[in-house]
Structure formats: structure tokens, C-alpha cells
């Protein structure tokens, strides 16, 4: 009996994934809408496959942290990232964190099922176009986000959500000064000369698309 755990904070996405997987013959589909709930379900139920979003609870790319924690807890359970972010740097970071596959939320239901089956069988999955972009990261230095650290990436994602330094510090559990220093480093790396310009960069690279914002995907 196959058991899948879907971790996403959009109820419509959870419902859509459940219906899609059940129609495809998956016997048990567990749902979690927070990082903590997902991690607890993972430890208690030991699912066969985990599907996880990267942007959980409006907390930047907290799904990346969750993927790392899941992988530290269990080295073998397949993890499929189901994300609105199509930037190859983010996809690459997800794979580095321990994900076995990466599929975009504007994909077709058939592609999502294919990704699910591939990772369930122990095979990696990524769309051809995105895989090519990820492969090119190592050979080109012009990718806007190629040189930023995981902490900088999460901070940039929170800036794209409209969070100020105080809120970012609270959500990441760091000091206001650390946030300010991180943003200074980001300005240098992205060529931004002011905070408003850095925010524009964050929106350009990481903002939520209308699909991601509503939780509606083509699988519906």
C-alpha cells in the first residue's frame, strides 16, 4: 500500500493533489499545511513519498529547510518538490537539500503523476528545460542568483513577499543587524544600489505568480 504525504499551505493544492493521487491508485494520502505538522507526520507515519512546497506559511523558502530536515531524518524516502519557483538556482538548491525531483505548479496533472511515479521508483525527476538550465549553472556565472547563500536566498524571498527587516528577523530567528548585513551583501551581489531596488530585484526573481498565489494549478 502506497502512502503519500503532501505538505502545502494552500487548501486547494492539497485537495487537488489528494484527488489526483487517489484517482491514480495511491491508497493513503496524508496532508499537512505547516512545516511542523509535515515534519511530525513524516516521523510518525513514515510515508513512501513526500510532496512538499518550498514557500510555506509565508516564510520565504522554508520548504528548503524542511527538505533538509526530512533528509536528515531519513536518507531514502523520496521527496518531490512541487513549487511555483522556476528559477534553476532554487531548483538546484532543492536538489542539494535532498529532493529527488522538482516539478512546477503550472505543470499538467500527467506531468505531476509522472514525477510522483519516477521518484517513488527511486529515479530523479525534473522537466527537460529546467534540467538543462540547472546543468548550465555550473558553466555560467551570469545567473542572477547563482552566488547567493541559502540564508540570502531565504531573505530575498521574504523581501519579495513585502516583509521588512523586523519581520524577516522574527521569522528567521536572527537579529535585525544580521538581516541588514545580509541585505547589504545581496545588494552587492545583485547590483542594487538601494533597498527599494533590492526589493524590485527580489520581486523580479522570486515573486509569487498568480498561479502560486491562488494555489490553482493546471492539475485542477
DSSP letter string, the chain: --EEEEE-S-HHHHHHHHHHHHHTT-SEEEEESSHHHHHHHHHHH--SEEEE-SS-TTSTTHHHHHHHHHHHH-SSS-EEEEES---HHHHHHHHHHT-SEEEETTS-HHHHHHHHHHHHTT--EE-HHHHHHHHHHTT-S--TTTT--HHHHHHHHHHHTT--HHHHHHHHT--HHHHHHHHHHHHHHHT-SSHHHHHHHHHHHHPPPHHHHHT--TT-
Domain boundaries, the chain: 3-138+210-214, 150-206
pLDDT at 89: 82
**pLDDT by residue (tens digit) across 41-88?**
999 999 999 999 988 875 667 888 899 999 999 999 999 999 988 888
* CATH number of this structure's domain 150-206: 1.10.10.10
Instruction: For residue 213, name the pLDDT band (cuts at 50, 70, 90).
Output: very low
pLDDT at 209: 39
- Mean of pLDDT values over 16-40: 95
Instruction: Look at residue 105 and tell me whether its pLDDT is greater than 50.
Output: yes
Instruction: Look at residue 120 and tell me whether its pLDDT is greater than 90.
Output: yes
Q: What is the mean pLDDT of the chain?
A: 85
CATH topology of domain 3-138+210-214: Rossmann fold (3.40.50)
pLDDT at 139: 53
- Mean of pLDDT values over 117-126: 94
Percent of all residues in the chain with a pLDDT value above 70, rounded to a whole number: 88
Instruction: Look at residue 215 and tell me whether its pLDDT is greater than 60.
Output: no
Amino acid at each position: 500500500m502506497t502512502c503519500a504525504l503532501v505538505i502545502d499551505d494552500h487548501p486547494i493544492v492539497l485537495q487537488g493533489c489528494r484527488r489526483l493521487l487517489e484517482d491514480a491508485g495511491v491508497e493513503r494520502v496524508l496532508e499537512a499545511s505547516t512545516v511542523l505538522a509535515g515534519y511530525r507526520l513524516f516521523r510518525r507515519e513514515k510515508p513512501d513519498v513526500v510532496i512538499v512546497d518550498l514557500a510555506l506559511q509565508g516564510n520565504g523558502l522554508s520548504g528548503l529547510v524542511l527538505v533538509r530536515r526530512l533528509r536528515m531524518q531519513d536518507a531514502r524516502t523520496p521527496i518531490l518538490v512541487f513549487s511555483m519557483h522556476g528559477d534553476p538556482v532554487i531548483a538546484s538548491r532543492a536538489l542539494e537539500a535532498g529532493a529527488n525531483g522538482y516539478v512546477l505548479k503550472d505543470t499538467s496533472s500527467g506531468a505531476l503523476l509522472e514525477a510522483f511515479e519516477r521518484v517513488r521508483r527511486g529515479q530523479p525527476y525534473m522537466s527537460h528545460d529546467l534540467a538543462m538550465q540547472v546543468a548550465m549553472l555550473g558553466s555560467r556565472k551570469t545567473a542572477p542568483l547563482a552566488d547567493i547563500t541559502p540564508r540570502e536566498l531565504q531573505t530575498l524571498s521574504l523581501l519579495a513577499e513585502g516583509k521588512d527587516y523586523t519581520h524577516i528577523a522574527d521569522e528567521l530567528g536572527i537579529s535585525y543587524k544580521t538581516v541588514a548585513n545580509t541585505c547589504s551583501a545581496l545588494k552587492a551581489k545583485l547590483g542594487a544600489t538601494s533597498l527599494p531596488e533590492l526589493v524590485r530585484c527580489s520581486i523580479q526573481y522570486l515573486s509569487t505568480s498568480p498561479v502560486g498565489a491562488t494555489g490553482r494549478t493546471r492539475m485542477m
